[in-house]
Amino acid sequence: METVKQKTLNGSFSLFGIGLHTGLNLTVTFNPAPENTGYRIQRIDLEGQPIINAVAEYVEETQRGTVLIKGDVRVGTIEHAMAAIYAMGIDNCLIQVNGPEFPILDGSAAMYVQKIKEVGLTEQNAAKDFYIIRKKLEIKEGDSVITILPDDDFSITTMCSFKSKFISSQFATLDSISKFDEEISSARTFVFVRDILPLLQANLIKGGDLDNAIVIYEQQLEQEKLDQLADLLHVPHIDANNIGYIQHKPLMWDNECTRHKLLDIIGDLALIGKPLKGRIIATRPGHTVNNKFARMMRRELRNHDVQAPIYDPNIEPLMDNIRIKELLPHRYPMQLIDKVIAMGATTIVGVKNVTSNEPFFQGHFPAEPVMPGVLQVEAMAQCGGLLILSQLEEPERWSTYFLKIDDVKFRQKVVPGDTLLFKVELLGPVRHGISSMKGYVFVGDNVVAEASFTAQIVKNK
CA 61 from centroid of its chain's CA atoms:
22
Task: Tell me phi and psi for residue 441, to 5 degrees.
Answer: -115, 130
| E strand or H helix at 230 | helix 223-233
User: Is 264 annotated as a binding-site member?
Assistant: yes
User: Is 248 annotated as a binding-site member?
Assistant: no
Residue 459 DSSP SS3: strand
Which residues are CB-neighbours of 207 under 8 A, at least 6 positions away? 18, 19, 20, 21, 22, 23, 24, 104
Instruction: Kindly compute the dihedral angle of the four CA atoms of residues 283, 288, 289, 292, in this order, to the nearest 10 degrees.
Output: 170
* Strand ranges, E, within 54-182: 59-61, 67-70, 73-75, 93-97, 121-127, 131-132, 137-141, 144-149, 154-160, 170-174
Task: Report the distance separating Cα 374 and Cα 395, nearest Å.
Answer: 26
CA nearest to 135, candidates 446, 445, 447, 448: 445
CA 188 from centroid of its chain's CA atoms:
23
CA nearest to 378, candidates 327, 307, 458, 449: 449
CB 103 within 8 A of CB 119: no
Is 237 marked active-site? no
How long a stretch of residues is the chain? Answer: 461
Task: Report the distance separating Cα 398 and Cα 387, nearest Å.
Answer: 13
User: Is 304 annotated as a binding-site member?
Assistant: no
* Strand ranges, E, within 209-249: 214-217, 244-246
Cα–Cα distances (Å) from 452 to 57, 352, 400, 406, 422, in that order, read: 31, 20, 15, 5, 13
Instruction: Select which of 234, 287, 304, 364 is catalytic.
Output: 287
**Is the dihedral angle over the CA atoms 50, 53, 54, 59 positive or is it negative?**
negative
Strand 131-132, strand 347-353: pairing: unpaired
CB 58 within 8 A of CB 28: no
Residues 89-120: b if buried by 16+ CB within 10 A, e if exposed: bbbbbbbbbbbbbbbbbbbbbbbbbebbeeee
The residues carrying an active-site annotation are 287
Annotated binding site for Zn(2+): 80, 260, 264
